[in-house]
Structure 1
Amino acid sequence: MKKVSIVVPVFNEEKNLVHFTQAVHEVMTKTSYAFELIFVDDGSSDDSSKILEELSVQYEQVKPIFLSHNYGHQIALTCGLDHAKGDAVITMDGDMQHPPALLPVLLGKWEEGYEVVQTIREATEGVSFFKKLTSKYYYRFLNMMSETKVYPGGSDFRLLDRKACDALCRYREHDRFIRGMVGTLGFKQTILPFTAPERFAGESKFSVKKMSKLAMDGILGYSVVPLRLSFYLGSVFALFSILLLGHVIWEFLHGNVVTGWTTIMVCVVLFSGVQLMILGIMGEYIGRIFKEVKNRPLYLTREEREKTAGQGE
């Protein structure tokens, strides 16, 4: 019998866990697959960890993993993928916006021979116009900047064949954008459109700050175009400065040096701003290099932390 691993990152989802587990269990027990439900608790501060421990007693398929602190959604997903043992691995969120009813459909696509089945949100119920608009144009901008195609509306609700999962687990960079990483794998892929319902309970933990970081990881992690644009922009302004030099000489020869003060001030401010912008872009890339060369582990589980602390006593 083929086995399916379902990986679910969790951060303060105490109101959703029981309902989600029941829904997944009901769907999967009607299929012909054995399955494991891997919850990765990403340092929750509510009762999520306690509920997961109770669910692991109630359901033999539930296997909770507790991270030592909050590492972020993408690292929690990575931890779950590292521990998944199934012939197919499905990643999804536990707030019911990734409908468990679609699990058999994903598995059906897998049985057809697809090694990656990527879901695409055609719409999300209850989402603001601003979020829809920014998401739409972000993916357009990302695909324009990067050589790796990311489907607009793509989510972390997907199926990976065992081979694809093993390949993805070899990617160990710290600033992770798994949607882009999956696109670089090169396995046989198809898409599955769906409409995401509203959350079952609670509020989204994906703040503007977290969304901004994920967006930045997607752009800087898969493209050097910002560095090239910096070079092109610097070249344009270097040419402009040569033209400005001609203007300065003209003003000097005609004795109008004082009248050029406004032009000089504007140019100083403009060029200083451009230089700081370019330095900022370079700093982002250098900061990411700094993280990688330290070669620290992507995450520590609670058990690993306690074991390490015990050895130090």
Structure 2
Amino acid sequence: MRKKITILIPAYNEEAVLYELYNRLINTIEKNTKCYDFELLFVNDGSKDNTVNIIKKLKSEDDRVSFIDLSRNFGKEIAMMAGFDYSKGDALIIIDADLQDPPELIPQMIELWEQGYDDVFAKRNSREGESFFKKWTSEAFYRLLQKLTRIPIQQDTGDFRLLDKRCIEALKLLRETQRYTKGMFSWIGFNKKEILFDRDARFAGETKWNYFKLFELAIEGITSFTITPLRFSAAFGSIISLCAFIYMIWVIIKTLIYGNPVEGYPSLMTVILFIGGIQLISLGIIGEYLGRVFNETKRRPLYFINEYNNVKVTPSDPEKHKNGSNHE
């Protein structure tokens, strides 16, 4: 029996690139059709443009195309999770719809998978079309995250990778709502192999990742994989308390010995405001973690599906996804 490979494509407002993406994917996989069966699984993440209609048209012309139409925009992380749940392949390849990740690398990924690697990830040699500031902040963030966590976080890598079925089954067990999938790829382990490539500029359309969303993703990454910020705030608070106690003793001794009145209103206000700022920062850090605990305790389903392959989907018990069952 021939192995089946699912190619997962999360899509949000990507009408300008879908036909070109499909053509390049088909040209790539047709070189391997003698050995493998392929499934092109599109996940429409609540697009506002003509994305879902184009996907439906592609499906009507090609039985290899499948699609999931989510009930609204849940974000790329959740869209990928839906793809994991509905994947039918012995391996799964994640690729962005914007063609910054070249589909022509897929045969090389498959070859390494056949050699026994479970996670073949593409590492960026260069990043065309991105500003110096974006590259610098990305590099700084991954350096920081690596220092804060014990998990070996992959740098200069995105979601473009091939995952063996057992990696997918492992990821399907991780049902948290606050997701940082790039860290999860590292967290699950298994036998990994990198390949280098030069990332192209976006083929068409506009990026969905502004600096605010990138900052939000960075917070997700830090709070999902380390509690070091909580330890920093506790340690910093202890140091400031110790310094404040020593200063208090000094003021008391100075007053008792020299009989001087307590002076220094400006410096006193500066210290009070500084300590107050540190307290607010610490409360903010605690609030980030507490908010994530609050969201997880709700135990809401990760997503709802409007259609799967032109069939309306009725919301049902989310526990069925945990069983790793495939969906027809």
TM-score range, shorter chain: over 0.9
Instruction: Tell me what 1:113 maps to.
Output: 116
Residues in 1 aligned to 2:148 and 2:313: alpha-carbon distance in whole angstroms: 44
Instruction: Tell me what 1:173 maps to.
Output: 176
1:188 to 188, 191, 203: 191
Instruction: Tell me what 2:206 maps to.
Output: 203
| 1:129-180 per-position Cα deviation (integer Å, ceiling 9, x unaligned) | 0011001111000000011111110100011101111111110001111111
Please state if 1:136 is matched with 2:139.
Answer: yes
1:276 to 269, 274, 280: 280
Residues in 1 aligned to 2:75 and 2:259: alpha-carbon distance in whole angstroms: 62
Counterpart of 1:20, as a letter, is L
- CA gap 1:259/1:47 in 2 versus in 1, 3 angstroms: same
Question: Structure 2: which 5+ runs fail to align?
Answer: 316-328
2:240 to 237, 244, 266: 237
SS in 2 for 1:221: helix
Number of matched pairs: 309
Residues in 2 aligned to 1:58 and 1:171: alpha-carbon distance in whole angstroms: 35
Offset of residue 2 of structure 1: 0.9
1:237-256 aligned within 5 A: 237-250=240-253, 252-253=255-256, 254=258, 256=260
Question: Structure 1: which 5+ runs fail to align?
Answer: none
CA contact (8 A) 2:9 2:42 kept: yes
Instruction: Tell me what 1:29 maps to.
Output: 30
Residues in 1 aligned to 2:80 and 2:268: alpha-carbon distance in whole angstroms: 52
Offset of residue 54 of structure 1: 0.7
Offset of residue 259 of structure 1: 3.0
| 1:247-281 per-position Cα deviation (integer Å, ceiling 9, x unaligned) | 32255344554632112101110110111111111
With structure 2 as the length reference, what TM-score do the two structures score? Answer: 0.91
Offset of residue 303 of structure 1: 3.6
Q: Work out the percentage of aligned pairs sharing the same amino acid.
A: 40
CA contact (8 A) 1:4 1:33 kept: yes
SS in 2 for 1:156: strand
Counterpart of 2:67, as a letter, is P
| 1:206-259 per-position Cα deviation (integer Å, ceiling 9, x unaligned) | 122221121111111000101111111011101110122033225534455463
Instruction: Tell me what 1:7 maps to.
Output: 8
Residues in 1 aligned to 2:248 and 2:238: alpha-carbon distance in whole angstroms: 15
Residues in 1 aligned to 2:52 and 2:190: alpha-carbon distance in whole angstroms: 35
Offset of residue 308 of structure 1: 5.0
Please state if 1:217 is matched with 2:231.
Answer: no
Residues in 2 aligned to 1:116 and 1:307: alpha-carbon distance in whole angstroms: 31
- CA gap 1:63/1:308 in 2 versus in 1, 3 angstroms: closer
Residues in 2 aligned to 1:196 and 1:217: alpha-carbon distance in whole angstroms: 24
Offset of residue 118 of structure 1: 1.4
Residues in 1 aligned to 2:114 and 2:261: alpha-carbon distance in whole angstroms: 77
Residues in 2 aligned to 1:79 and 1:257: alpha-carbon distance in whole angstroms: 69
Residues in 2 aligned to 1:49 and 1:251: alpha-carbon distance in whole angstroms: 76
Offset of residue 182 of structure 1: 1.2
1:50 to 50, 53, 74: 53
CA contact (8 A) 1:139 1:152 kept: yes
Instruction: Tell me what 1:260 maps to.
Output: 264
| 1:59-105 per-position Cα deviation (integer Å, ceiling 9, x unaligned) | 21111111111110110111111111101101110111010000001
